[in-house]
Amino acid sequence: MGPLSGLTIIELAGIGPGPFCAMMLADMGAEVIRVDRAGSVSGGDPNNPPKDALLRGRRSIGVDLKSPEGVEVVLKMVEQADALIEGFRPGVAERLGLGPQQCAARNPKLVYGRMTGWGQDGPYANAAGHDINYIALSGTLHAIGRSGQAPVPPLNLVGDFGGGGMYLAFGVMCAIWEAQTSGQGQVVDASMVDGAASLANMVWSLKAAGHWASERGTNMLDTGAHFYDVYECADGEYVSIGSIEPQFYSLLLGLSGLGEDPNLPHQHDRAHWPTMKMRVAEVFKTKTRDEWCELMEHTDVCFAPVLSLDEATQHPHNVERGTFIEKYGMTQAAPAPRFSRTEPQIQRPAPHPGQHTNELLSKFGFTDDDIATLKQQNAIG
């Protein structure tokens, strides 16, 4: 069983970062119960689970949260839970009757995790938004891209999952740990703006030290440097180079053949970075990606081929470590990180909405008559 075995987390269904947080907790062994809308319950073959890795590892109950009886169902579950996570706009959970105060009245030790883009307060708090907007406001998006070009959104990895879901999981577990001694729960306000800003703290440190220019694509880690970038090969594929340290850079020069020129400028002479970048690019176009792999893989150049999603699953390193797994009809990344004793695992496939309603209600003490009444009231699906 995973290291979080024994914890019970209630997840009010949402999209993106909330489910990602719940996936992380479930992968680590927590019992995560997803509360789906009763209206989304339409049945589904348990032998053909949804192909959604973010929903893996938990059971689902269908509840009408606009029904007083449905809200009471969730509050009864809260009484036996360690935490609840939700991703509504500020004030929505309170209007439903499931806000922090309402839940704390049932379980003072409950940790209440809130996931939003902007945070629970501030001028933007009630506005709609997505990952790209949140990382833009944090300043992080401005720094990502090449010189003279527009910023490049890094998929939705920095806001939704890095700055959002992971920070919510971390915050919830911190609060659960503290509640073990204080006996009191608290609210965790996870904002993607805050999280994205926090992820960029090293860049803020470099800026404070005078080592980071605001013009993107001109710094060491943002494709400004010729020794930290991706380069096209003769076959149109790409390789990545990160030869920052002098000994690694020296090896790059030697294996690429550039070191044969005795007049090369100093590695950190920024005035020559654009010229050196062109020279490095020309060199990498002389061989295919596989030829460069044969030459540079398993050396200290700090090298790796740029693989497609499909290629990544077949690379020997990922295969040996089991980085990707084929389970429940889909390829997905295995639980991370790894533990030497309490091994994480995918507990079950993604559920159909409401798939485990009866099973879960029985677990939380509802009788068959109670369940029948709730169905008649359309409080559950």
Reduced to 3 states (helix: H, G, I; strand: E, B; else coil), residue 230 is strand
Contact yes or no for 227/221 (Cβ under 8 A): no
Contact yes or no for 241/229 (Cβ under 8 A): yes
CA 157, CA 301: separation in Å to the nearest integer?
27
Place of tokens 């404070």: 208
Is the C-alpha dihedral spanning 243, 245, 246, 248 positive or negative?
negative
CA 107, CA 183: separation in Å to the nearest integer?
10
Distances (CA, A) of 294 to 288, 303, 304: 10, 11, 11
User: Has 160 been annotated as catalytic?
Assistant: yes
From the list 36, 131, 160, 194, the catalytic residue is 160
> What secondary structure letter does DSSP report for 380?
B
Residue 186 token pair: 């608290």
CA 99, CA 114: separation in Å to the nearest integer?
10
What residues form DSSP beta bridges with 240?
Answer: 230, 304
From the list 52, 130, 272, 315, the catalytic residue is 130
CA 166, CA 295: separation in Å to the nearest integer?
37
Give the side-chain half-sphere CA count within 13 A for 130.
Answer: 8
Question: Catalytic amino acids?
Answer: 130, 160
